[in-house]
Structure 1
Amino acid sequence: MKKMNDKKKPVFILTIETSGLTSGVSIGQDGELLAERALNLKNIHSRKMALMLKQLMEDVKLDYRDLAAIALSAGPGSFTGLRIGYSLAKGLAHPLCLPLIEVSTLDVWAYQQGKTDLPVMALIDAHRNEIFCGLYRWKQNTLHREGDYRLVPLKDLPALLREPTLIVGADTVQLKEKIMKFSAEAARFPFPFLTQPENWALLHLAFQKYQAGELRAVSEAEPRYMRAFKGVM
């Protein structure tokens, strides 16, 4: 009798990051990073992403048909960057009937900072003295978001930061002085500052969503633009 092979099929996920300055792509197997490419330069998403993807797939010797899903940083973020990332992901996923996995850019920023005993606020500058933010807390080895994503004026930070809180995100450095003006007692800043969203963090969160069945059809996926909402997301 032929022996059954119970080895699980590997889950390959492609990630695409275009929510801000960084252009990044990566491939992971079962949530672990295999290869990545990233450029931290302005205005190159539309010119470099296709080439980066081609090189990445050649590096890992995989075909797009080997993928289980395509994950992307869903914002909030740059209108142009998110539009390019979503167009690319949908263009790849649609003919192959692949699901998409949308991961909040704020979740990526909070997760990549690593486990801490402090609550975490991930933020992105929304301009007009406002920020997009999410509040998080590590419980055992899992990051939990507390409440909804928010669009709030900087002057309202004291109502959110009721205890010492680690502040992270793409715009933390440039907003540090304003944050300290309103929340000097509670605000804590990491050192060194991380300056861009990391592919491995996007991949880890995407794999968690894949395992939980949090998948989106191409027709359902929509980015979270900077000014797509007012108040609470």
Structure 2
Amino acid sequence: MALILSIETSTPICSIALHRDGILIDSESIEVAGAHSERLMIMIQQLLERNQFQTELLDAIAVSEGPGSYTGLRIGVSTAKGLAFAWDLPLIGISTLKILAFAAKSSISDKAYIVALLDARRMEVFHQVFNQDLKSIVSLGSALIDEDSYREILEERPTYFVGDGVEKVSQVIAHVNATFLDTKIDAKHMGELAFENFEKGEFVNLAYFAPNYLKEFKALQAKKNPLLL
């Protein structure tokens, strides 16, 4: 038996969930500005209280490890690490794109591909391609999207696109084998993946674990020196 708290903050959606042995007990999701920094801890407290669980009953914490929003990932991973340390619990890191692929799995046909996408900027996306068993076919990376993107796999079999990069991709890719899903990232889809890691004892090192931003964060530089105004 494993009771796992999952945290997902890689996009503007802030979500948490409780699973027992991979089966969803309860979840909560919110998409408002500042939710990650202002609401996450409150949401966790309310979720545990609503289900009458004490922190002592938890067996592990799972967190989306990226890629995704720099700020969102930093807050989510920092919170998960802090709680895991304070409550003496193991921490499980799960790829954001694998969570998206799992969320789409129930909607795809047999022997199809899943392309998990996160919006980067302009016509760029973070992406990873999975088969129906969630085995990686194309490794995690970033790509510029045009009308020829994913042509090779689209010619091979039905391909389902999922994630907040779908809107961008659907504007330039037209193929009979392409299906675009309106499935959003959510911690409620993390339970089975987290439980698999828990059973295998695959935990991250609290001291060294960091989000996978995939790209180096670059702060915008002010055009004018405020000291000279």
The TM-score by the shorter chain falls in which range? 0.7 to 0.9
TM-score, structure 2 length as denominator?
Answer: 0.84
| 2:2 equivalent to 1:11 | yes
Displacement of 1:147 in angstroms is: 4.0
- 1:209 equivalenced with 2:209 (yes/no): no
Deviation string for 1:166-213 (max 9, x for gaps)? 111122124310234xxx3543223xx12x213221122111111122
Question: What is the CA deviation profile of residues 102-159 of structure 1, one whole-angstrom value per residue up to 9, with x for unaligned ones?
Answer: 1111111111112432211111122242221111111xxx422224212122136235
Distance in 1 of aligned mates of 2:152 and 2:210: 31
> Is 2:21 aligned against 1:27?
no
Distance in 2 of aligned mates of 1:198 and 1:16: 9
> Which residue is equivalent to 2:78?
87
Query: Are the equivalent residues in 2 in contact too, given 1:129–1:154 (CA < 8 A)?
Result: yes
**1:80 positional shift:** 0.4
Give the aligned partner of residue 113 of structure 1.
Answer: 104
Match of 1:198 among 186, 189, 205: 186
1:34-55 Cα deviation digits (max 9, x unpaired): 1111112233210111110110
Whether 1:166 and 2:160 are equivalent positions in the alignment is yes
Equivalent residue number for residue 124 of structure 1: 118
What residue in structure 2 maps to residue 4 of structure 1? none
Structure 1 CA distance for aligned equivalents of residues 37 and 159 of structure 2: 37
Once the two structures are TM-superposed, the CA of residue 161 in structure 1 deviates from its matched residue by 4.0
Q: For 1:222, give the aligned amino acid.
A: A
Structure 2 unaligned spans of 5+: 218-229
- Counterpart in the other structure of 1:137: 131
1:40 and 2:17 correspond: no
Distance in 2 (CA, whole Å) between partners of 1:177 and 1:226 is 24
Q: Which segment is superposed worse, 170-179 or 98-107?
A: 170-179
Match of 2:206 in 1: 218
Number of residue pairs aligned between Structure 1 and Structure 2: 211
Cα distance change on mapping 1:147 and 1:226 into 2, 3 Å: closer
1:59-97 CA deviation, whole Å, 9 max, x = no partner?
Answer: 122222221111011111000000110111111111233
Q: How many angstroms apart in 1 are the aligned matches of 2:180 and 2:27?
A: 28
**How has the CA–CA distance of structure 1 residues 200 and 65 changed in structure 2, closer, same or farther, with 3 Å as cutoff?**
same
Secondary structure (helix, strand or coil) at the match of 2:209 reads coil
Q: What is the CA-CA distance between 1:56 and the residue it aligns to?
A: 0.7
Q: Which runs of 5+ in 1 are unaligned?
A: 1-9
Separation of aligned partners in 1, 2:188 and 2:44: 16
The one-letter amino acid of 2:173's match is I
Secondary structure at the aligned position of 1:148 is classed as strand
Cross-structure match for 1:176: 170
1:99 paired residue among 80, 84, 90: 90
**TM-score under structure 1 normalisation?**
0.83
3-state DSSP of counterpart to 2:118: strand
